[in-house]
Amino acid sequence: MPDRVQCGNGTGSASVLNGRRGAIRVPARSSLQGGPLIPASSLPLLFIDVDGPLNPFERPFPGPKGYTSHRMKPDSWLRAHPGTPPARVPPLTVRLDPAHGPQLLELPMEPVWATTWEHDANTWIGPHLGLPELPVVPWSSPRTPDPSGLHWKTRELSAWAGERPFAWIDDEPGQSDREWLDQHHPAHVLLLRIDASRGLAGEDFALLREWAEQTRAA
């Protein structure tokens, strides 16, 4: 089920949460860019949350410049309203910036959906951004509180990544997640927390690129 769309006040900023750097060499270009074909598996992963980074749901309407509004009833949203005819389920209002798709694809990373939208992200979000179908992290039990107080995605993302370095853009995880990943994930991790009242911005893409290139050189 996608996160609820809400309105709020204020303009937030991104928080950078760096993990240790692994000695993994990464090619400069992704095959997604149309450049030299390089196996995506040799690139750092980029785990992408939808609500917050791509859909700044806490930003007051009409929303930031460049964004367009979309009303959606993804399957996961309909399933969250059992017994209600689909026509009577209120749609989600999602704001997206079509420039984000090309910016994500230009990064020397392998993008992966890491969102409660799961496969609905490929159907309802990606096409508005010009993204191809991306891999999806399947959650074993989404939103189930972690007994150690970690974000519920943290352990699953580390397990899904295996030995690979990854960056994670999300509006929810915090310092305890960074510390856990630093101690337990075997490769370099960048946790970039994106304020849901701001969404992804140019400096975030610059930072992701810098991190990916540093990881390649490590």
Site of interaction with Mg ion (CB under 5 A)? 49, 51-52, 171
Shortest spacing between CB 69 and Mg ion, in angstroms? 18
CB of 52 to Mg ion, least distance (A): 4
- Closest distance to Mg ion from the beta carbon of 53 (Å): 7
Minimum gap (Å) between residue 214 Cβ and Mg ion: 26
Closest listed residue to residue 12, CA positions, set 67, 65, 47, 53: 53
Of 26 and 97, which has the nearer Cβ to Mg ion?
A: 97
Of residues 30 and 51, the one with the C-beta less far from Mg ion: 51
Using an 8 Å Cβ cutoff, are 166 and 44 in contact?
A: yes
- Of the candidates 143, 145, 121, 119, the one whose C-alpha atom is nearest the C-alpha of residue 131 is 121
Question: 10 Å Cβ neighbour count for 73?
Answer: 15
Q: Which is closer to Mg ion, CB of 49 or CB of 156?
A: 49
Least distance (Å) from Mg ion to the CB of residue 126? 16
Residue nearest to Mg ion (CB): 52
Q: How many helices (H) and strands (E) does the chain have?
A: 7, 7
Q: Are 184 and 158 in contact (CB under 8 A)?
A: yes
Residue 49 or 97 having the CB closest to Mg ion: 49
- Can you say whether residue 36 is alpha, beta or left, with left for phi > 0 and alpha for psi between -120 and 50 degrees? beta
The dihedral sign for the CA sequence 16, 2, 113, 106: negative
By beta-carbon proximity to Mg ion, the closer residue of 1 and 32 is 1
Peptide bond into 186 cis (omega under 30): no
